[in-house]
Amino acid sequence: MNIPPAYVLTLSGVLFAFGIIGVLIRRNAIVIFMSIELMLNSANLALIASARMLAPAQEALRGHVFVFFVIAVAAAEVAVGLALIVAVFRSKESIDVDEVSSLRG
Amino acid sequence: MTIDLVLFLGLTLIAVAAAIAMIVSRNAVYSALFLVLNFLTVATLYLLLNAAFIAVVQITVYAGAIMVLFLFVIMLLGTERESLDGGRIRWQMPLAIVLGLGIAGELAYVLMRNDAAQRPLADLSAGFGSPASIGRVLFSEYLVPFEVTSILLLVAMIGAIVITRMQRRETK
């Protein structure tokens, strides 16, 4: 691709900001979780763009390896997070985050 | 305007539109499907950035496995609809949108002006980012983190089972 990597980095920054907006305005726990996935994904995009920027140095491949680990950790995170959401739904009959306020002082 | 730029702008449009649609969809199933569209667009960008292996991993793991898990839980719980009232804090949504768009603008401005990222990209040999080249780095330099990842996945699996089992025992 023959465009400056700054464009791709900008796209990743904008997607990250939309993930933040999603976390802040939604109250459905699953949609909040999906917004977090969007942010992780935009961080991956920035890593890949940086790796392409530093290529053809062999060290640039470390960016790809890092993204590989981020995807593996995201998969583990989703498994545990969705199990927690299911557990909260069983006790509260709702996954609206406003309803989950038992720890409030 | 080169073909690369046209391609990139088209993908940017789809990715941002899918992200916005994911946030504003009232039905969580639609949100999940828009997120899949966003992941596929980003995978195409990975291909354009010479990251073939990561693009395939993105599609199989993210757009495939993880999003199927999301859709499964949404449909299992049957909570795809969300009530339309403003929630407990009335001013939260407008404030969040203003602050979020503010950080989006600032991030875009700072990243656009990044000097190191303005240079045109160097030409690459075909092997960069291929499964063979990633595998060589992964199994030599990063072998220990790779093995630790397998333990992490095992712990996540056990954790997910324990969390759901514990709940069932309490309700009995």
Which burial class, exposed, middle or buried, applies to B157 when counting CB atoms under 10 A from its CB (0-12, 13-18, 19+)? middle
> What domains lie within chain A, and their CATH numbers?
5-92 (1.10.287.3510)
Phi, psi dihedral angles at A11 (to 5 degrees): -60, -40
- What are the angstrom distances between the C-alpha of B7 and each of A13, A16, B10, B13? 19, 21, 5, 10
- What does the pLDDT look like over A52-75, one tens digit per residue? 888 777 788 899 999 999 999 999
Average pLDDT of chain B, as a whole number: 87
Chain A partners within 8 Å of B147 (Cβ): none
Per-residue three-class SS string for chain B:
CCHHHHHHHHHHHHHHHHHHHHHHCCCHHHHHHHHHHHHHHHHHHHHHCCCHHHHHHHHHHHHHHHHHHHHHHHHHHCCCCCCCCCCCCCCHHHHHHHHHHHHHHHHHHHHHCCHHHCCCCCCCCCCCCCHHHHHHHHHHCCHHHHHHHHHHHHHHHHHHHHHHHHHHHHHC
Low-confidence stretches of chain B (pLDDT < 70) are: 1, 80, 82-88, 167-172
Dist. CA B78–CA B88, nearest whole Å: 23
> What domains lie within chain B, and their CATH numbers?
1-82 (1.20.120.1200)
Give A43 to chain B, closest Cα distance, Å: 11
Tell me what ipTM this predicted complex has.
0.92
Chain centroid, CA B61 distance in Å: 10
CB within 8 Å of chain A, chain B residues 37-96: 38-39, 42, 45-46, 48-51, 53-54, 57-58, 61-62, 65-66, 69-70, 73-74, 76-77, 79, 82-83, 87-88, 92-93, 96
User: Band of the pLDDT at A95, cuts 50, 70, 90?
Assistant: confident
- Partner-chain contact A41 B42, CB within 8 Å: yes
Q: Please report the pLDDT score of residue B4 as a whole number.
A: 86
